[in-house]
Amino acid sequence: MERPTDTVPPGTTDSDQISREELQLATRNHGMPLEALRYPVTPLGLHYLLVHYDIPAVDPVAWRLVVDGGVERGLVLSLDDLRERPGVTRRVTMECAGNGRARLSPRAVSQPWLVEAVGTAEWTGTPLRLLLDEVGLADGVVEVVFTGLDRGVEGGVEQRYQRCLSVEEARREDVLLVYEVNGQPLPPQHGFPLRLLVPGWYGMASVKWLVRITAVEDPFDGYQQVRAYRYRQDPSDDGRPVTRIAPRSLLVPPGIPDFLTRRRFLSMGPCRLEGRAWSGWAPVVSVEASVDGGRSWARAELDPPEAAYAWQGWSYLWDPPAAGEYELCCRATDATGRVQPTAPQWNLGGYADNDLHRVAVTVTPSVAR
C-alpha cells in the first residue's frame, strides 16, 4: 500500500533520488551484506550498525553506571562490578525499526535502509531484573528510563539518547545489561562499555553507551519515546509506539551479482535457496518461497528455533525450468499468525516495513567466467 493521498508530509520525500543527507547517514551506518545471512551468528563488523549522533569515546576506568530515581537503594557501579554479577549469554536477532524505510513512497528522510538492517549476535551480560531487585523499585514506579552517553539534536530537540520500558517489560528475565558481543568486549560502535538488550524489540530499545538507569513515577516523555518510533499516518497524530519486531524473512541472493544493479546471474541447474526468518512476537512457524514475484508460493524447509529470539534458517530447492528472468521472494508467518504483507504498510516514520524481500535473477544457460 502506497500512501493514499498525493501530498508529501513534512520530513518525507517522494523523490527517487537519495539526498546527500541520506547518503551521509548511510555511509556512517551500515547494513548487513545479505550474503552474511549464511552465518547463524553474524561476524562482528557484518552486524548492522545504527548510531543517531556520535560514537562516544569512553574511558572504561572512569565510566560508571548510576541507578537512581524511585529506588530504595541507589547504586553506582563500575564495569568490574557489573562483570562480577551473574552472567548470561543469549543469541538474539536485532533489527532496526527503520528497516525497509527506503522502499516506501513517500519515504521518511532518515537512514535509508532497504532490507539489510539486521544481525544476530551472542550477547553476554547480567540480567537487568537482578539489579532492579537489588535496588528495590519504589511503589509508585511505572517505568524505567535508560540514558546513553551520546548527545545530539533531533527534531530541533537537544537530547541524550534515552528510551524507557514499562516496569513489567524491564523485569522480563531475558533483558540484559550487556558488556560482551560474540565473546569480545563491546566495540565502540555497538555501545562500549555497556548497553541494554531487549530481545524481541526493534533495536531502538537497546540503548547503547548506557550510563544511567532511572526509575520514574510519571510516564517518560523523551523525544525517542513520544516523538520518534511511533506508528503514525500524519504529523498531528500521536500514533502507537513501535515495540516488537514484525516477522520478516530474507534470502541469500543466489549466483553472482552485477556490480552496479546487484541483479543476480545464476546458471541453469538445481539451486538451494536459503535464508533466515525471525519475529519478535513468537517463533516463526512457516516460510514460503516464490520464484514468480509472489504470484505462487511453495513451502520452504524451516529449521527449528535455536534460541527464543534468534532467527531461524530456511531453505528451498529450486530447479529453474528454463533460462530467463525470475523474481525470487520469501514470506514468513509466526506463531501469532502475523505474516509478511506483499506490499508496504505505509507510516510516516517508515517503521516496521516488513513487506517481501524481492531478488531479481537472470538464469543463464551458463555463467561467463
Binding residues (CB under 5 A) for Mo ion: these are: 50, 96, 203-204
What minimum distance in Å lies between the beta carbon of 201 and Mo ion? Answer: 11
298, 81 Cβ separation under 8 angstroms: no
CB nearer ligand MTE, residue 8 or residue 41: 41
**Three-state DSSP state, 59:** coil
Cα separation, 138 vs 39, in Å, equals 44
CB nearer Mo ion, residue 242 or residue 273: 242
Positive or negative, the CA dihedral 359, 1, 278, 96 is: positive
Positive or negative, the CA dihedral 307, 313, 314, 317 is: negative
206 binds, among Mo ion, ligand MTE, none (CB under 5 to 8 A by kind): ligand MTE
Residue position matching grid coordinates 505474516? 339
What minimum distance in Å lies between the beta carbon of 328 and Mo ion? Answer: 27
Binds ligand MTE by CB under 6 A, chosen from 36, 48, 249, 266 = 48
Positive or negative, the CA dihedral 251, 101, 242, 120 is: positive
Residues across the chain = 369
CB nearer ligand MTE, residue 170 or residue 207: 207
Q: Measured at the alpha carbon of residue 214, what is the angle toward residues 179 and 139, in degrees to the nearest 5?
A: 125
C-alpha cell belonging to residue 57:
569515546
Binding mask 4-43 for ligand MTE (x = CB under 6 A): ----------------------------------------
User: At a CB cut-off of 8 Å and minimum separation 6, what does 110 contact?
Assistant: 22, 25, 98, 101, 349, 350
CB nearer ligand MTE, residue 110 or residue 249: 110
CB nearer Mo ion, residue 225 or residue 290: 225
What minimum distance in Å lies between the beta carbon of 196 and ligand MTE? Answer: 8
What minimum distance in Å lies between the beta carbon of 253 and ligand MTE? Answer: 22
Size of residue set near ligand MTE by CB under 6 A: 18
State which of positions 76-105 bind ligand MTE (CB under 6 A). Answer: 94, 96
CB nearer ligand MTE, residue 51 or residue 250: 51
What minimum distance in Å lies between the beta carbon of 205 and ligand MTE? Answer: 7
Binding mask 145-184 for ligand MTE (x = CB under 6 A): ---x-x----------x-----------------------
For residues 44-73, b (16+ Cβ closer than 10 Å) or e, as one string?
bebbbbbbbbebbebeeeebebebebbbee
48 binds, among ligand MTE, Mo ion, none (CB under 5 to 8 A by kind): ligand MTE
Q: How many helices and strands in the chain, by DSSP H and E? A: 5, 24
Longest dimension (CA), the chain: 72
What minimum distance in Å lies between the beta carbon of 146 and ligand MTE? Answer: 8
What minimum distance in Å lies between the beta carbon of 314 and Mo ion? Answer: 25
What minimum distance in Å lies between the beta carbon of 213 and ligand MTE? Answer: 13
Cα separation, 362 vs 286, in Å, equals 27
State which of positions 182-221 bind ligand MTE (CB under 6 A). Answer: 190, 203-204, 206-209
Report if residue 310 touches ligand MTE, rule: CB under 6 A.
no
Cα separation, 110 vs 349, in Å, equals 8
Candidates 37, 103, 83; CA nearest to 310 is 37
CB nearer ligand MTE, residue 48 or residue 318: 48
In the complex, the residues that contact ligand MTE under the rule CB under 6 A are 47-52, 94, 96, 148, 150, 161, 190, 203-204, 206-209
